Amino acid sequence: MVSFKNLDFRVDARRSAPVGALSDNMPHTLLKPHINYWDVIPVSWRSSVVRVVFMKLAATGILCALVSGYSDNNDVSWCCTLAAAVNFIACTHYGIVWAIRAQALPSAFSHLLLGRTNTGNVIPVGPQQPESASSRATETEQPENIAPPVTVPLIANSDNGDRTKALLYAQENAVDSLRFSDWLVT
Amino acid sequence: MTFELYKLSDSATGGAEHQFSDWMAALAQIAMVSFGAIYRFVANENRGDAEGNNGIIQTALASTSFTVSFFIYVGITWAILEPIFTEKCPPSDPRSTCEITATIPQRDMLAVYVFTLVWLGYPIVSLTSLCFSGFSSNNRGYNMGQRTSFYKDIAYGFLDIVSKAGLAFYAAYRSRWFV
């Protein structure tokens, strides 16, 4: 039995082909690093969890809206209308959470995304790739036509320079604020 | 959701009076989430700063806001469940207790129990994630592990599916009994 805890999900850029172990043959490990941003948990996993919740809420919200419209019973109609409203508001919030988890925010927020520089540009991954996502995110080499990244630490009073952790912390704050906003309204 | 649960509770009991009105419960819910937001965003879940330190005021604020929020939650939950739990009768019924025996009110009663008590999962997830990250040996404020964050997504997603999507599906399914 494979222990999930002991699996090493980090990309080894030196490895050119899968060698047969489960952790080497998962879909996300076969992708090249520049289209596969993650450190411990793959982005595709994180976004798919939120996507499932979004779709469940959307489906039941649409169902309730339709029942509300077609029901002749006032009590049933009122309950379904409330449920539909609650689900649509939750869907809106989950849609933004989905964008954050998929690292697919609009350009104005792209500096918060993994695989981007502080100015929001895509971190280029050339032949000399760093070995892990963390070191990839701190890479400072840039092509001439891209502005060099700002090198100030992203965590106040911190000099550890762990950019991936800082970005995930910022994303976690954003997701939690969306959750509280959803709970406040619904 | 509070309005819906009040409505279902009324349907189960035949209109027995609650401890306080649905409007009061909805307002209390705003207060509950606001205190939860203070705990999360002002006191930062009692996590330390970048060096791992936190002060007495932060700890006091975090524990107070979480406790107040939790007690408001208990009050709202009790207000929703109390007429069902105590088998309270509607105002027009002179009996002291009215057992719920009819099929549809019994289903509504069960639904109210499930969709109200599932809310208890939210503070449990919050405290559990804190145990994974905030109270760990490395109590830096930004030290939110990816695994903890991932499990939080799954847990909150499950709770939202049960409490929101589940309640919506029940409300829609329930319409079949009133054709």
- Residue identified by tokens 């989905």 is A98
Please judge whether A76 and B169 are an interchain contact, meaning their C-beta atoms are less than 8 angstroms apart.
no
State yes or no: pLDDT of A112 exceeds 50: yes
pLDDT for A36 equals 58
Q: Which of A118, A121, A116 is nearest to A103 (CA)?
A: A116
Instruction: Say which residue, A176 or A138, is predicted with more confidence.
Output: A176
Please judge whether A49 and B41 are an interchain contact, meaning their C-beta atoms are less than 8 angstroms apart.
no
pLDDT for A159 equals 42
pLDDT band at A14 (very low <50, low <70, confident <90, very high): very low
pLDDT for B133 equals 63
Instruction: Say which residue, A20 or A92, is predicted with more confidence.
Output: A92
Please judge whether B168 and A86 are an interchain contact, meaning their C-beta atoms are less than 8 angstroms apart.
yes
**Mean pLDDT in residue range A39-64:** 88
Identify whether the C-beta of residue A36 lies closer than 8 Å to the C-beta of residue A123.
no
Instruction: Spell out which residues of chain B touch residue A87, defining contact as CB-CB under 8 Å.
Output: 164-165, 168
**Mean pLDDT in residue range A38-46:** 74
State yes or no: pLDDT of A40 exceeds 80: no
pTM confidence score: 0.78
pLDDT for B138 equals 52
What is the Cα–Cα distance from B65 to A182, expressed in whole angstroms? 19
Number of domains within chain B = 1
pLDDT for A120 equals 65
State yes or no: pLDDT of A129 exceeds 60: no
pLDDT for A89 equals 94
Identify whether the C-beta of residue A153 lies closer than 8 Å to the C-beta of residue A159.
yes
pLDDT for B96 equals 78
Q: Which of B50, B150, B153 sits opposite A158 (nearest CB)?
A: B50
Instruction: Say which residue, A4 or A82, is predicted with more confidence.
Output: A82
Nearest chain A residue to B169 by CA: give it. Answer: A60
Please judge whether A83 and B51 are an interchain contact, meaning their C-beta atoms are less than 8 angstroms apart.
no
Q: Which of A41, A64, A75 sits opposite B168 (nearest CB)?
A: A64
Instruction: Spell out which residues of chain A touch residue B169, defining contact as CB-CB under 8 Å.
Output: 60, 63-64
Cβ-based burial of A176 (10 A; exposed 0-12, middle 13-18, buried ≥19): buried
Residue B96, min C-alpha distance to chain A (Å): 27
Residue range of the domain that includes B170: 2-178
Query: For chain B, which residues score pLDDT lower than 50?
Result: 136-137
